[in-house]
Structure 1
Amino acid sequence: MDDTQRRGRRIMMTPEEVDAFLRTQRTCRVATVSPDGRPHVGALWFAWDGRSLWLYSITRSRRWADLRKDPRISVVVDAGESYDELRGVELSGTAAFVGEAPRTGEPCPELDEVERLFPQKNFGLPQMPHDGRHAWLRLTPESIVTWDFRKL
């Protein structure tokens, strides 16, 4: 094993650290691929339920259109200012569209937990406000890469 591999293993987050990090962070960067092959990256708030990352996206956005044509997605959640504070998680996989689009609040048991988590975390509200412009994307990661430079 070379030094790079050793260092990579040393700075990896444990599953418990990943879970705690994703439950407390608010903003992620979402990368999609346009039909012409150009990447697109934008920031969004998210919720993590312990298995999947949930994104509440505007349905008339470039992100939404990109994912309708090519559901491959990568998301980065990171924190830290100085080099020795940097930590983050990159989640990649296939986006799934869940519930009606745009979301108006029709009953959807699959959204019960995220619609409890998301408004509490991001708005301090007990229930989800629906504006008829957003809808849910779920990323159940196929790969997760982590780093925590505080471990160096």
Structure 2
Amino acid sequence: MTVTQRRGRKIMMTPEERDGFLSGQRTCRVATVGADGTPHVSPLWFLWDGTSLWLYSLARSRRWADLRADGRVAVVVDAGEEYGELRGVELSGRIEFLGESPRTGEPCPELDVPERMFAQKNFGLPEMIYDGRHAWARLTPEKITSWDFRKLADL
């Protein structure tokens, strides 16, 4: 379920704008919380399928350990250099883990489509090449907030 944001309604993206933006971007910033309560933010390539954000992370990373210990996550995807160009999306919720960890290519029907889309988007390949170091997590957001400062000119 997506919660409609209250503030900034005039500059929030429409669902179509948001989907187009997320589909066109490659890098997100993933915020996790460590077992000791320390926040951690790290960049990662992702895939948006229109409903969920798919994260392909090193299985032996701090990010992955944090997510395994506490599945709560916030992810930001943003773009723009000048103030009037800034736009982005924040998605938050709980992570689901799919497939084996690390991923070696064992059959997992839920990963067939995202793996193919991820390989095409990020590597220009028709299918994934598994390195035995990465694993999949899916965020189906409970909350989505967006902004597009380019809309400020129309206010």
CA shift digits 1:103-146 (9 cap, x unpaired): 00111110011011101111111111100000001000000000
Equivalent in the alignment of 1:96: 96
Distance in 2 (CA, whole Å) between partners of 1:141 and 1:129 is 27
Equivalent in the alignment of 1:128: 128
Equivalent in the alignment of 2:73: 73
Please, which runs of 5 or more residues in structure 1 have no aligned partner? none
Equivalent in the alignment of 2:149: 149
CA shift digits 1:64-122 (9 cap, x unpaired): 11111100000000000000000000000001110000000111110011011101111
Distance in 2 (CA, whole Å) between partners of 1:6 and 1:26 is 27
Distance in 1 (CA, whole Å) between partners of 2:6 and 2:21 is 23
Please, which runs of 5 or more residues in structure 2 have no aligned partner? none
**CA 1:139 to 1:7, structure 2 compared with 1: closer, same or farther past 3 Å?**
closer
Q: Tell me whether 1:24 sits opposite 2:24 in the alignment.
A: yes
Distance in 2 (CA, whole Å) between partners of 1:85 and 1:7 is 19
TM-aligned CA deviation for residue 35 of structure 1: 0.6
Distance in 1 (CA, whole Å) between partners of 2:30 and 2:57 is 10
Identity of aligned residues (%): 76
**CA 1:6 to 1:61, structure 2 compared with 1: closer, same or farther past 3 Å?**
closer
Give the match's secondary structure for 1:43.
Answer: strand
Give the CA RMSD over aligned residues: 1.3
